[in-house]
Structure 1
Amino acid sequence: MPSSTLHLHFEAEDPYKHFTWRITYGIISPLGVNQQVILINGRFPGPEIHAVTNDNLIINVVNHLPEPFLLTWNGVQQRKNSWQDGVYGTNCPILPGRNFTYTLQVKDQIGSFFYFPSLDLHKAAGGFGGLRIVSRQGIPVPFPEPAADYTVLIGDWYLFGHQRLRNILDRGIMPPTPAGILINGLRSNAVFRVEQGTSLITY
């Protein structure tokens, strides 16, 4: 009998990761004083995204604020989706009560990034978070494997709302000195202690 050969050909897409984020106001006290902040799914800072190169990130953002809202993805290449960079003028703001779904593919961009609101000084009220991208298996990186990987978000913080800060700047007045510094949403003296050769880090 003649032998037969079966040829199979498979194609698969890169992995998809789906997120739904609800943007709301909430009351917390990062510097010991209750104030209104922007939360993502009730969290401040917002959820951290862990991705692998080539992952497709599908992020549905639902705006529950009483004003338009928009997120930008700092440093993340928008492959074939440059208009989704989250900057006013290329992206339309998400109107109150509406949603928008961002579609990002993180292509060969290992490293640490962050996202934040790009409209009306919302970033001064929160709505930001970390985005960490690691190399997929089989793709070497040009440095030794780190002992550990941390996301550190450091920024000035005011005790009054972003609306007041926006009004100050709109009047052409220099903003006051920030009330403090937040590290990952917490009050800190911004001093890090790291043990050489280990993964221990405290602040």
Structure 2
Amino acid sequence: MVHSEDPYLFFTWNITYATLSPLGVPQQVILIDGQFPGPKINCTSNNNIVVNVFNNLDEPFLLTWNGIQQRKNSWQEGTLGTTCPIPPGKNFTYHFQVKDQIGSFFYYATTALHHAAGAYGAIRIHSRDLIPVPFDRPEDEYDVLVGDWYTKGHSTLKKFLDSGRTLGRPDGILINGKRG
């Protein structure tokens, strides 16, 4: 008898600050493994994903895997209440399976408005070859991450919200980390 599992994909990500100018104004952003937006996870349905995240920020950090079904492992979901944030200088290893899913998804930071500082990225899940899909393979694929952007840092934005103020209109739109 042979016991086997679906393939594993391993990632090691370092979370750091950097000064970038997405809208032409230098500001603090959050890089995931040196990238803004963060690296794309390109996988196949039923792959096991293992992401070891090292928090090099000066505050707790937490990622969530938006749209990824967390079967029998809700503590990997990355939302406060199901997962504790990663303390500064520590790491946490997320381990989940993209079971029976295909399509485009994304991940983002869920604490302290870190997503407003660029802590997000794309996840693309392809169909396994042995599972037919009811449409032709695409000619090409593009990941498009679109979002509001403020020239004030995430800490300032968090203070606004904590004091009861609104954020107001964003200073611009970013598409894949570039001015829209």
Place the TM-score, normalised by the shorter chain, in its bin. Answer: over 0.9
1:21-64 per-residue CA deviation (whole Å, 9 max, x = no partner) reads: 00000011111111100001111000000010110000000000
Please name the residue that 1:38 is paired with. Answer: 30
SS in structure 2 at match of 1:39: strand
Q: Which has the larger radius of gyration?
A: 1
Please name the residue that 1:160 is paired with. Answer: 152
Equivalent AA in structure 1 for residue 85 of structure 2: P
In the aligned structure 1, how far is the partner of 2:3 from the partner of 2:160?
56
Deviation at 1:10? 3.2
Please name the residue that 1:113 is paired with. Answer: 105
User: Which runs of no fewer than 5 residues in structure 1 stay unpaired?
Assistant: 1-8, 189-203
Deviation at 1:71? 0.2
1:50-199 → structure 2 map (5 Å cutoff): 50-188=42-180
TM-score where L is the length of structure 1: 0.87
Whether 1:16 and 2:26 are equivalent positions in the alignment is: no
| TM superposition outliers: structure 1 runs of 4+ over 6 Å | none
TM-score where L is the length of structure 2: 0.97
In the aligned structure 2, how far is the partner of 1:54 from the partner of 1:176?
42
User: Which runs of no fewer than 5 residues in structure 2 stay unpaired?
Assistant: none
Count of residue pairs the alignment pairs up: 180
Identify the structure with bigger relative contact order (alpha carbons < 8 Å, sequence gap 6+). 2
